[in-house]
Amino acid sequence: MLNRIDVGKNLRERVPYSDITFPFNVWLDIFNDFINHTVNCHWHYDFEYGCVLSGTVDYYINNTHIKLRKGDCFFVNSNVLHMGKQPDSCSDAVMFTITFPVTLLTSNISDTIYAKYFQSVMNGRIDGFHVESGDLRGQDIKKLLTDLYNSKPTDFCYELKCMNRVSRLWIETLRYIGNDDDGFVLRTGSTHHAERIKEILSYIHEHYEGKITVDDLAKYANISRAECFRCFSRFMNKSPVEYINEYRMSVAAKLLKESEMSVTDIYSKCGFENASYFVKVFKGKYGVTPLRYRKGDTVIAEQRQRCNRI
């Protein structure tokens, strides 16, 4: 089975914490285990940090593209769209990510801790930031992330140690963003554009089985065709049609691996009108025909147990 992020219609990830009374998780993302080598576009109310262990990753925080290399770290603010993709020139991209909600450190959004140390960040001008491996200013952040990644639930006082490190991580984050803007992903104007692309992608994910045109997307979002193209270029670095086809391909690949549906039923379910076009697009994306892909003759590796994303 290949991996993909479990998101709802509005692209919000359903973060599956293993212990809902202690909402903290460490994930290992092996990009070869994801459909299209992509951690698909999503958002969540939780904070997210990450660090690249090998290879390179084309990472997007809202409409900002960041080239992450081995040793680079990043932070994504609450309620911010983000995605990651292994570039074609790389075959071994792996990163770990850490997620936790604000409630891990403060249970009451009306208390002093939330007001003084979290509210200004969550409602502020920073969508995220990245720390290059050689940046001395962010070494404390990287060390804490590495310590959290290397911790094991079986360690003595695991939860207490995690709480301590997460608290220190947030302190270092506040200190880091209190400096200059180097490496920051800043909000440009209102969040209206981000909300608009969420709506458009949600429409695609809900209606991919039928015919979708750019006019349909523009009408749904109450924008012009030109603005629809600009939204996709800004946030997805591709055209609407390219995204629609890639999404349909990801669904088809998942069905080929995880279901017994015929190729005919799959291409029909994924919104393709004829088999020859489906096979052409699929082969162009994955390098093999759908039937060969189903039999395992593919450039995409099977999922390994090391990756615990759902």
The residue-averaged pLDDT of 1-20 equals: 72
Instruction: Flag whether 301 is in a domain.
Output: no
Helices (H) and strands (E) in the chain, counts: 11, 10
Q: Which of 168, 186, 204 is the last residue of a domain?
A: 186
**CA geometry: angle 206, 212, 216, nearest 5 deg:** 95
Is the same domain home to 126 and 164?
Answer: yes
Mean pLDDT on 265-294:
88
Residue 221 lies in a domain: yes
Same domain, 208 and 290: yes
Same domain, 167 and 223: no
Q: Is the pLDDT of residue 275 over 80?
A: yes
Q: Do 286 and 215 fall within a single domain? A: yes
- For 247, the token pair is 């999404």
Among residues 186, 212, 239, the one where a domain terminates is: 186
pLDDT digits (tens, 9 = 90+) for 156-214: 999 999 999 999 999 999 999 887 656 677 655 456 777 788 889 888 988 999 999 99
Whether residue 305 has pLDDT greater than 60: no
Does residue 55 carry a pLDDT above 80? yes
Average pLDDT over residues 32-46: 86
Q: In this predicted structure, what is the pLDDT of residue 4?
A: 61
Whether 307 shows a pLDDT value over 50: the answer reads no
pLDDT of residue 294: 87
Decide if pLDDT at 66 tops 60: yes
CA distances from 108 to 102, 105, 161 (A): 9, 9, 22
With respect to residue 102, please indicate whether it lies within any of the assigned structural domains. yes
Q: What pLDDT was estimated at residue 159?
A: 96
At 22, is the pLDDT very low, low, confident or very high (cuts 50, 70, 90)?
A: very high
Is 5 among the domain residues? Answer: no
- Provide the number of structural domains found in the chain: 2
Task: Give the separation between CA 123 and CA 110, rounded to whole angstroms.
Answer: 15
Q: What is the 3-state secondary structure (H, E, C) of 184-214?
A: EEECCCCCHHHHHHHHHHHHHHHHCCCCCCH
User: Both 252 and 135 in a single domain?
Assistant: no
Q: The tokens 């523009």 sit on which residue?
A: 218
Mean pLDDT of 75-90: 92
Per-residue pLDDT of 90-104, as tens digits, reads 999 999 999 999 999
Decide: pTM greater than 0.85: no
CB distance 34 to 302 below 8 Å? no
Does 304 fall in a domain? no
Q: What is the average pLDDT value for the chain, to the nearest integer?
A: 86
> Which tens digits make up the pLDDT trace of 247-258?
888 889 889 988
pLDDT at 308: 39
Based on the number of CB atoms within 10 Å of its own CB, is 217 exposed (0-12), middle (13-18) or buried (19 or more)? buried
The CATH number covering residue 272 comes to 1.10.10.60
Q: Coil, strand or helix: which one is 34?
A: strand
Indicate whether 33 belongs to any domain: yes
In a domain, 8, yes or no: no
pLDDT at 286 over 90: no
Per-residue CA distances from 29 to 50, 224, 306 (Å):
10, 37, 9
Which CATH number characterizes residue 32's domain? 2.60.120.280
- Report if residue 306 sits inside a domain: no
Q: At what angle do helices 225-235 and 240-258 cross, to 10 degrees?
A: 60
On whether both 72 and 208 belong to a single domain, the answer is no
Write down which residue in 158, 186, 214 finishes a domain: 186
Show Cβ contacts of residue 68 under 8 Å, excluding neighbours closer than 6 positions: 52, 56, 57, 58, 59, 74, 84, 95, 130
pLDDT confidence tier of residue 2, bands split at 50, 70 and 90: very low
Say if residue 144 is in the same domain as residue 54. Answer: yes
Per DSSP, the residues of 256-291 read HHH----HHHHHHHTT-S-HHHHHHHHHHHHSS-HH
* Residues 242 and 93 both lie in one domain: no
Instruction: State both tokens at 12.
Output: 């919000």
* Domain with 196 in it: 192-294
Whether 179 and 250 map to the same domain: the answer is: no
Same domain, 123 and 162: yes
Higher-pLDDT residue of 146 and 205 is 146
Residues 6+ apart with CB under 8 A from 175: none
Residues 142 and 50 in one domain: yes
Report how far residue 5's alpha carbon sits from residue 83's, in angstroms, rounded to the nearest whole number: 10
On whether both 156 and 235 belong to a single domain, the answer is no
